[in-house]
Amino acid sequence: MIAIIDYNAGNLKSVEKAFVSLKEECVVTRDLNTILSADKVVLPGVGAFGKAMVQLKKYELDKAIKEVVSEGKPFLGICLGLQLLFEGSEESSGVEGLNILDGQIIRIPSKEGLKIPHIGWNSLDITPDGRLFKGLDANPYVYFVHSYYLKAKDEQIVKATTEYGVNIHASVEKDNVFACQFHPEKSSSVGLKILENFCNIK
């Protein structure tokens, strides 16, 4: 069973719908026991970094997430869910992230002809060893909606990048922790394949 964490950050239904379409048992929940007993856990998210951290702490979901990760269960962060795994974000100065992975979330630089937020389809450059991208072409197209991007401290964990005025670390993987800045649940057949690959991780 896959637990999709509900911390009032929106976009939960589309994530749930994507897993249901893959015939995976899933539940949208903030119940700590349900999350801790799940086989896999997903942290989706749309919105501001600081507000999201307040919500996670309010429901003690920050502790549950760290416990799930420490137990070695497959964990997937999506969009804001990726950003929250890191140390902090320029969006919310002084707010500490979950600190599960090392890196900072930085605002996409303003450049002429570059719209922020970055909304739309971009191709990825993926590494051969990224388990989320098994069976996909080297440059699949996925759907982004974001104004801030990840700069991971250890580039060895980066399994996909994209270009949007700057080189964006678009997906990371470290042991049982996976995360995507883009929205696989909105990325058509490519996104469903990514979610299917996550479901198949033991």
* 185 catalytic per annotation: yes
User: Is residue 111 pLDDT above 90, yes or no?
Assistant: no
- Structure tokens given for 106: 């930085």
What angle do the packed helices 188-199 and 12-21 form, to 10 degrees? 70
| Res 8: pLDDT | 86
The number of residues in the chain equals 202
Q: Which listed residue (26, 118, 183, 196) is catalytic?
A: 183
Q: What is the pTM of this model?
A: 0.97
Question: 170: burial class by Cβ within 10 Å (0-12, 13-18, 19+)?
Answer: buried
Among the listed residues 16, 91, 173, 185, the single catalytic one is 185
Assess whether 79 carries a catalytic annotation. Answer: yes
What band does 112 get if pLDDT is binned at 50, 70 and 90? confident
Torsion of CA 38, 74, 22, 27, to 10 degrees: 30
pLDDT tens for each residue of 72-93: 999 999 999 999 999 999 999 9
CATH number of residue 111's parent domain: 3.40.50.880
Hey, what amino acid is at 63?
A: K
Residues 6+ apart with CB under 8 A from 201: 40, 74, 131, 176, 178
Q: DSSP 3-state assignment of 133?
A: helix
Out of 79, 169, 173, 180, pick the active-site residue: 79
What's the domain range around 70? 2-199
**Residue 158 binned pLDDT confidence (cut-offs 50, 70, 90):** very high
112 is catalytic: no
> What is the per-residue pLDDT across 28-72, written as a single tens digit (0 to 9) for each?
999 999 999 999 999 998 889 999 999 999 999 999 999 999 999
Number of domains in the chain: 1
Label residue 109 exposed, middle or buried (CB < 10 Å: 0-12, 13-18, 19+): exposed
Distance CA(141)–CA(120), nearest Å, equals 10
Separation between Cα atoms, residue 53 and residue 109, nearest integer Å: 24
Q: Is 199 helix (H, G, I), strand (E, B) or coil?
A: helix
